[in-house]
Amino acid sequence: MIILKGLIAIIVFLIVPFLLGLLITRFTKNEKNNIILAYLIGYLIEFAICEIISILLIFMQKEYNVLLITYVFIIGILSLISFVINFKSFKEIILDNIKKIKELPKLLSIICIGLILVQMFIYAFYTHIDDDDAFYVGTSVTTVQTNTLYKYSPTTGITSGENILLRYRLSPFPLYMAVLSSILNIHPTIVAHTIFPVIILPIIYSVYYLLSKEIFKEDKESSILFVILINLLNIFGGYSIRTNFAFLLFRIWQGKALLANLLIPSIWLFVLKAHKNNYKLLDCFILLILVFAANLTTTMAIGFAPISLMGLAFALELIDFNFKKFIKNILKCLVCCMPSIIYGLIYLLFN
């Protein structure tokens, strides 16, 4: 049974996100073999798909099993399509990434990986008790045990509790945890406190590594030093329970922690890439996926995601200002923000 769960975990956390990411990266010009980027985009696709189908099924008052089957079916079909169209490229992708790994500064890379492993170790073998888990993890547990979607309060069991609030229904990240729990056949609390943090921490630091490559270009030493600095800031950033550092290392399984540590940095990364490529269709599609993914985590993303995206886009366009280009690219960014705009209107009109 343990071996079977281990194999399922490998498929769920390693193979599937990679295949999903390849659906996007294969169409990029210079990064079609970038495994790190593929994993990041793969998880964003998972979040976005979960957000779209969860909200539809919540308001249709469907059972949780409908969500589980629909999600697994969509992700499975997309993964299978990716496997078929990318099969011949796997060898090239692996060899190309091995070559890039060999070019990295060895000592700095070992230090960086060591710092990340320490944080993963703490999550795997220690635990943090957080009051908000009564709702967030409680919602995942209630969902699995009652086969319902936001019908019962996870704290009292009544049908007229905090579970009916629109701000929770529009950002149902606990349902993603519930789906992972069902697929792995492991209790949602264990998935949230132990398994998910160990998986998502390297993904978060991958975002910063990709950001450093945008900043420092081909200077690999500076890129690794940048990620080491971020590691140290996070490890020694527990001077308040409200910082993004504390949210990263205390409760990354909560949606608001993911927004601060994964989604907002990802917005910076992909806006930089989109600006460099003059906001091509593929770049805008990635930004659209990213906004959907951000909205899954917390309703704060309804405001923070478009503000971050549009703010950075404005700043970058002003650097080499051209009126016609400025209007065109800003309108493209505005279209990418439509999920947040729509959810925001729903919240204002029906809350």
pLDDT in tens, 58-82: 999 999 999 999 999 999 999 999 9
**Average pLDDT score over residue span 51-60:** 95
pLDDT at 217: 86
pTM of the model: 0.95
pLDDT at 351: 74
**Average pLDDT score over residue span 235-240:** 86
Query: Under a CB-based contact definition with an 8 Å cutoff, are residues 53 and 75 in contact?
Result: no
Task: Give residues with Cβ within 8 angstroms of 100, minimum separation 6.
Answer: none
For the chain, what is the largest distance between any 2 Cα atoms, rounded to a whole number of angstroms? Answer: 62
| DSSP designation for 194 | I
Joined tokens for residue 99: 């070559």
**Average pLDDT score over residue span 237-260:** 89
The total domain count for the chain is 1
149-179 burial code (b ≥16 CB/10 A, e <16):
bbbbbbeeeeeeeebeeeebbbbbbbbbbbb
Nearest to 210 by CA among 25, 94, 33, 37: 37
- Which domain, by its residues, includes 80? 2-350
Q: Which of 12-26, 30-44, 153-167, 183-197 has the lowest mean pLDDT?
A: 153-167
Q: What are phi and psi of 239, to 5 degrees?
A: -75, -10
